[in-house]
Chain A
Amino acid sequence: MRPIREMMEQTYDRGLENLIAGETGISKIDGDNGKLWYRGYTIEDLAEHGSFDEVSYLLIHGELPTASQYERWRKDMENWHEPPEEAMAVIKTLPDDTHALMLYRTMLSVAACHIPQGENTRLDAQWRRPAGILGWCSTLAAATICHILGKEFNPFNPGQSFSANFLTQALGREPTEYEIKAFDVCMIVQAEHGLQASALAALTVISTGADLGSAVLAGMGAVSGNLHGGAIKKAFLNLLELKSVDEAKAWVNVKLNEGYRFPGFGHPIYKTHDPRTKILEPYAKKLLENKGEELLWDIYQTVRDGIESKLGEKEIFITVYGVTGLIYHALEIPVGSFPIIFALANQTGWMAHCLEYLSEGKMIEPGAIYTG
């Protein structure tokens, strides 16, 4: 985000809703028509043709990489695939039943004690960091999931894509080509989404002159919250409890009458279908079919249609949080770890926002009206 240069009068609601906090060249969200662009490319275009390795470069640097830029970007990420030993070791000292995202957070915050020249926050140093952060985070996130699954941690394979490596390490097995593509698309469509709470937290931290890693840790704090990344887990658990299509229908009706706020449904910006869900649904369907879990897909459809047919007029539709759980589940990623994947993808956008802000941004310090 870049600051708006002139002072302007604005009308906004609680939670800074409708406030234009600044200008950006990273992503455009058209909430009325359900469209999302990264750097001027539609999300559908990038999901179909691009890879996360390219899209992460695009988000941060503004252009799709040329062959040599791509080579360097991949090499940078690869050079950082091995986080400090202390960070890898800490997981064994924490209680067995700790939440996955807390394990991951702790590994990252230990890793942050070992950043080479961590206190150097000059612009050039900050710009060198994203590849390293993606590299470390990928290995640490995979290690967390692998630890929870109780599998053997596979070595890093330099020739593989970001997503292929991540799945191999996290799941402790060779993923199929289709699984890799599905996961990669998940990463691409969740890599950036404007100034959501996580990005705003990251931006506030970077605005104090802190290092990029500290900003990413702040973004992750927001993801942990029930109202942000936590919704992925809750939405999926709701589906998992339903045993048949009929039960799903009945449950939706009961909950609709109760006025229940369905997790994974309704987005503050999209007044229509979230474009990311449309991209992900075919992958979710096929992955579930491959696993013989067609019933879960049918239940999902029933719940989605039941809710949208009633609440669609109130502009409440399924969001990306409502569908990604199906893909993660089909990939055998444990439920507790769902928010980790979201954070791993989404941090790309936080970093892009932070770097965009750094060159001219002032310290973020809004005010509060005293009513006491």
Chain B
Amino acid sequence: MASKFDLFDKDFDWRSKQVEWPVTTPTSQGLSGVIASETKVAWANPNTGELFYRGIPVQELADSATFEEVAYLLVEGKHWTKYPEEFQSFCFRLHRVRQMPVEILNLIAAQPADTHPTRLLRAAVSALGCFDIIPHDNLKAHHHWEDVWIISQVEALVGHIARYRKGLKPLISDFRQSLAKDLLYMILNTRPTKEQVKLLNLLWILYADHGLDAPTFTGLVVGSTKADPYYNIVAGLGALRGPLIGGAAERVIRMFIRLRDANVARAWTEGMLAKGYIIPGFGHRVFRQPDPRVEIMRKYLPEFAKDPEQRLLLEVATSIEDTASFYLNPKGIYVNINFYSAVLFHFLGAEPEMIPCFYAVGRMAGLIARVREYLKNNRLYRPREKYTGKTDRTYITMEER
């Protein structure tokens, strides 16, 4: 007997004690309404806008936890305070693998400095896989999902890429430091403040998991073939940076920088809305109310807008939000995570192009959690299509065409 779900019913909250496969659901474009997996990793309540990682409200985690703790929670499904020794060993495994082979640093340096950093990151991850996957075991390479080191390897690579773009010399990652501290040290070239470390942890926590959005779903599809994590991430980075998703934050910050003035921003926003254009950084597939992650970020904005330049940027952002919200909120469209995360990443010293790379580090935690979960009860993804094209044709020679 198939389980039947009416996923377009506003009150259905995508939870069920168990799922009897096959399932029957209403399906629509872009696979919306399609159930692609069962999960215990995270849940977003579409009716209230609350978000939970392993049952814990994300607000609670964002205010007090570190990224390592949340990564452990997502990946292992256990609370770090209950398994202190295991958590310590998790951190140890995570932190000790950040030294990159010199060939990787050379590879980065051999590409033009204006290459989009997500492309550099993809090339570097691909090359790193050649060093890390033990030869001749590729038939079992998906077992590498048991390792978590890809999170910190991505972090280290992002640091190296940021330094290369700034013309700074490579720096060896400090294996005793947390991921956030290490990365900030790499990009700022000086010791980061406590607040900066906290902010980066917070942003990574908020970006760690977001259901089966395009990058994570790409990861599940590739993972379902039993590919190793490096193939998986090479694949997912293409989606993560897509202009409609991670690339949006990049566009948002460019827009803020270009507008430079709160009044100009207001006029620009009104002009865009009048023409029926989409404002970058607005709208969400599931939430029809404020995104909880945005509300968390909002608290930290004033604290980090220190110099006049930063305050101006924040004014521009607020002006766009206020103007657009007036028209869009009644339609259920609110600012999304990319809007203010762009501001905060900018305050941390990240260039606009680097933002998707930063976001990728956080997302690794959710990706590993979801792929591992799927592999425990794996089924290769293989949907079908309905053929509506031409039929009964026979080959004719080129002269007769």
Contact = CB atoms under 8 A, between A and B. Distances in A.
Interface of A: 1-5, 7-28, 37, 39-41, 45-46, 48-50, 54, 62-67, 70, 86, 89-90, 93-95, 97-99, 102-103, 105-106, 109-110, 112-114, 118-119, 121, 194-198, 200-201, 204-205, 207-211, 214-215, 217-230, 234, 268-269, 361-372
Given A28-B389, A40-B391, A112 B383 contact: no
A197 B224 contact: yes
Nearest to B17: A371
Nearest to A69: B401
B15 A97 contact: no
Given A45-B395, A65-B398, A365-B30, A371 B40 contact: yes
B163 to A, nearest CB: 17
Interface string B237-263: 111111111010000000000000000
Interface of B: 2, 5, 7-8, 14-19, 21-43, 54-55, 103, 106-107, 110-112, 115-116, 119-120, 122-123, 125-127, 129-131, 133, 135-136, 138-142, 211-215, 217-218, 221-228, 230-232, 234-245, 247, 285, 377, 379-399, 401
Contact of A210 (B22, B217, B232, B241): B241
Query: Which A-B residue pairs are the 5 nearest by beta carbons?
Result: A208-B242, A225-B225, A25-B389, A214-B238, A372-B40
Question: At the interface, is chain A mostly helix, strand, loop or mixed?
Answer: mixed
25 contacts: A7-B8, A13-B379, A19-B383, A21-B31, A28-B389, A39-B389, A65-B401, A67-B398, A102-B133, A109-B123, A110-B127, A112-B122, A113-B123, A209-B243, A210-B241, A211-B238, A222-B222, A363-B30, A365-B214, A367-B33, A367-B35, A368-B37, A371-B17, A371-B39, A372-B43
Contact of A118 (B119, B213, B382): B119
B130 A109 contact: no
B380 A15 contact: yes
Given A109-B126, A372-B40, A11 B24 contact: yes
A205 B231 contact: no
B32 A366 contact: yes
A16 B31 CA distance: 10
From B15, B37, B384, residue with most partner A Cβ within 10 Å: B384
A15 B39 CA distance: 14
A129 to B, nearest CB: 14
A113 B387 CA distance: 36
Contact of B126 (A9, A105, A228, A365): A105
B393 to A, nearest CB: 4
A221 B243 contact: no
Nearest to B231: A221
Given A11-B24, A26-B389, A210-B239, A3 B30 contact: yes
B2 to A, nearest CB: 5
B107 to A, nearest CB: 6
B54 A372 contact: yes
Contacts of A64: 395-396, 398, 401
A98 B231 contact: no
From B111, B225, B237, residue with most partner A Cβ within 10 Å: B225
Contact of B28 (A7, A86, A95, A223): A7
Nearest to B116: A119
